[in-house]
Structure 1
């Protein structure tokens, strides 16, 4: 099986994965306790599916009892620009790096399926596989740590000595039994850069995340109005947040993404808020076709844009906010009213 494993790793690299490591489904004994604490504290917010399927997330072996090995794969999406630069321009929208081009779910899953088909062809039709990429109750980050892809940093994301913070994770569960790789150790040390930069103080403690305060959660998963106390802290971030990832010192070892469809579209690096506020539903769908942004829908995206406009302090954006005060969607209308009020207050403060 060692010879097959060597071929598997080589084939994974050929498919575009920078790292390929293997663990057992049962190699994450700490997950049930961590997950139970996370849910008990209510840190999952509106993500009810985390609680509903916690028995699978807490025990990967329960997801598919026949599985004997989990092949964990990492694919780089390192940005070619400084993702924090856009935060200096309040009239522009900040979009998370991973969403500045094609949806990684589709790209990674296609690679996983090709690799899985290759594995079956190398063994027999009796070999069974299942592929996952962030859309099933699989604790991918703990499995990635157990397999040696990296370790869960203080921001709870996976960090790699070879890839820094900028990589996607995919997994292939299989009935084949491979030799496992050693788990990765924590290399965060005394660093707390990711904790200190968080705009909303979303980390109650190192290695703990309160999603209800996380801008990625608020702009993508949260339905309805965002708490007023958090809106002003969101700045011009309109889809996701890269702050805690971008400041990780391990990024100095990150490599450039080989997949050009992960390279940022020029129009999504720092899009003008005024232009985004003009998008109707059809224009929104056209602009974000093939992008993960399309998943949240135009109204939730517009809500985020209006919060950013309200935080901009730019009087020139007043009309962009006012046009949505009477919007049919109550959350959009509320965001527009808040933005107008914020801009009016900013204008008064400059008199």
Structure 2
């Protein structure tokens, strides 16, 4: 813009080109044309539009967060100032990253990072005993959810990310572990490890538990297919299953045998595939979401846990706790591309893609 452009005082045309959708290293041809003395004149230039996604990884022993450029698969920054950082999530609309810290002998805390500067801008006292699967965000509502456990009970904490104030808590079965959000229906799902239960919490009616589903095992990671209204739960050992919950009836419609002790799980809505990390067998099970069967098994990392997916590029990122690195997997071929070394004992991972 502007289009058509006009010349400046020197006779030069000046214009700007906007990219409406996020692109990853996309070559774009720009054509300029004008008419001089009734003759058409054209000039074509090629530029590369790059919108870098960024990974944030919490490292609990080194008390820092690794920042990874996904175009180069290199650590470009290391943020310090944390205490045993664990679960992490980003609000891409506000450019804020939330890091849960285990603080000894006092209430735990959330560190808030400005993703544009990679600087901690605020710290909020919030929650107890929140693990690597126990943090999620609803960007549409600007609400953060924590699966919290104190010495007496377990509950879901609801934090308003605008005011950084707790606006509600909901009691759930013991040992709350994982959280997932259905933004379309404003529902929150919470797994309870020792109870073998998934709680369904309705955000439209005061965050009350409207249903519980007994999936058995030790459910930890959980992911939602909003299009088909299906919920996938990694039920841990000893069953080595992923439970598939019908989001309409809250009944387990299917169980899928995966590797040894599944803990982490992520859904890619672009290709309807589910990725499951099996921490004991050290592999990743790939599930076809249409058939609900395992179609591929990926090896390459030791003790894989939390998974995140860049759906635009179809790249899967998996934390390997035993080797202190991140597996980078091509979601098209399900092949390991590379590994990225981070800090000691990585716990949580989140993907931030700024608008460009």
The reply to whether TM is greater than 0.5 is no
- With normalisation by structure 1, the TM-score equals 0.23
- Determine which structure has more spread, i.e. the larger CA radius of gyration: 2
- Structure showing the higher strand proportion among its residues: 2
TM-score, structure 2 normalization: 0.23
